[in-house]
Amino acid sequence: MKRPLNYLTVSAFIVILFIASCAVIPPVIRTIVNIKAGTLQGTSGEVAKVENLTIAGPAIKIPLRIYTPEGSGPFPILIYMHGGGWVFGNLDSSDNVCRFFTNNVGCIVISVDYRLAPKHKFPAAIEDIYFATQWAAENAGHINGDSNRLAVGGASAGGNLAAAVCLMAKDRDGPSLVFQLLAYPSTNLATLDTDSYRDFAKGYGLTKARVKWFRKQYLESEEDGRNPYASPLLANDLSNLPPALVITGGFDVLRDEGEAYANRLKQEGISARYIRYADMGHMAHWVVTSDKVGDALNEASSALRSAFSK
C-alpha cells in the first residue's frame, strides 16, 4: 500500500512527550510543536484587519483573534477551533488557515484560544468555545458581523469541538448556527476499534498510540469518553443540528469515525456532505500551500459560502 504524502512532521516532536507522564506539558515542548504547526501551513495571506482581544469566559479570560475581510459588511462569521489533540495549538498555529477562510469565503473568522489539556481536562475546552460562540452571536454588530450567519469549524480535535459545540448549542437553546465544518474530526473517544485504526495504527502520521495518549491527557475518566460532548457520535439525537461538511483522509486513523458521523447526520435528516481524500493522511493543521490540501480547503470554502448565502 502506498503511503500518503505526510506533512505532519510536527509528529516527530510529539514523540518526546511519551518520555514523561507529567501533569503539565513543558512549555518548551508546546512552543516547539505550535511553531512547527504554524510553519507547516505555508505563507500567511494578508487580510483587511486582524484584532487580538480577550473576553471574560466561564473560568478564565479567553483570547480570541478576529480576522475581517475587505468590504463593507456586515459579514458572516466562522468560529474556528484549531487542532492539536486538545493539548497543543494556539492562535498562531491556525493563523494561516484563518486568513485563508477570511479571504476565500469573505467572512469574519474568530479563532478561539481555548484551554488545553492536561492542565484543563474535559469539558474546559468546549465550555470556552461555547462561551466564545455565544459572545460572537451577542456582539456580532460590534465587529461588523451578522449574527444570523454564524458557523463553526475546525480540524482534528478542533473538528471534534466544532461538532460538540453544535450539540451544546442545541441543548442550551442557542445560539443558532447555520453550518458546521468538520475536517478530520475525532467523533468517538470511547473506543479506538475501527478498521481505520487497525489499518493505519502506525506509519501514517497520526498513530493509534498517539491518539490514546491525547485521550488520556484530555479526559478525566473513561466515563467522560462516553459523554456526547467528547464523543459526538454517541449522542442519542443528532436531529436539528446545522448542515455539515465532513472531510477525512483515506489513510487517517480517524477516517471511519468521521464517516460514521456524517452518515448518522444524514440518517437523522441533516444535510451533510462527506468527502474522503483517498491518498491523504491526517491533517490536524491545514497546509495551505499544498495542492492536495488546497482541494479540501476550496471545497470547505465553497460549502461555507453556500451556507452563508442562504
**94 is annotated as an active-site residue:** no
Q: Are 114 and 63 in contact (CB under 8 A)?
A: no
Give per-residue pLDDT as tens, 228-248.
999 999 999 999 999 999 999
> How far is the C-alpha of 96 from the C-alpha of 98, rounded, in Å?
5
Q: Calculate the CA 199 to chain-centre distance.
A: 24
Give per-residue pLDDT as tens, 29-42.
555 554 455 455 55
Backbone angles phi, psi at 112, to 5 degrees: -110, 125
Ranked by mean pLDDT, which of 19-23, 191-195, 203-207 comes out on top? Answer: 191-195
Domains and CATH numbers, the chain: 11-309 (3.40.50.1820)
What single DSSP character describes residue 241? P
Rounded to two decimals, the pTM is: 0.89
**252 is annotated as an active-site residue:** yes
Please tell me which residue in 156, 186, 196, 231 is annotated as part of the active site: 156
**285 is annotated as an active-site residue:** yes
Please tell me which residue in 95, 252, 282, 290 is annotated as part of the active site: 252
Please tell me which residue in 93, 111, 186, 285 is annotated as part of the active site: 285
Average pLDDT over residues 66-84: 96
Angle at CA of residue 266, ends 238 and 278, nearest 5°: 115
Closest C-alpha to 273, from 183, 166, 175: 183
Please report, for residues 117, 180, 224, the alpha-carbon distance to residue 234 in angstroms, rounded to integers and kept in the order given. 22, 18, 12
Crossing angle of helices 124-139 and 157-171, rounded to 10°:
60
Please report, for residues 20, 91, 173, 258, 266, the alpha-carbon distance to residue 83 in angstroms, rounded to integers and kept in the order given. 22, 11, 27, 15, 25
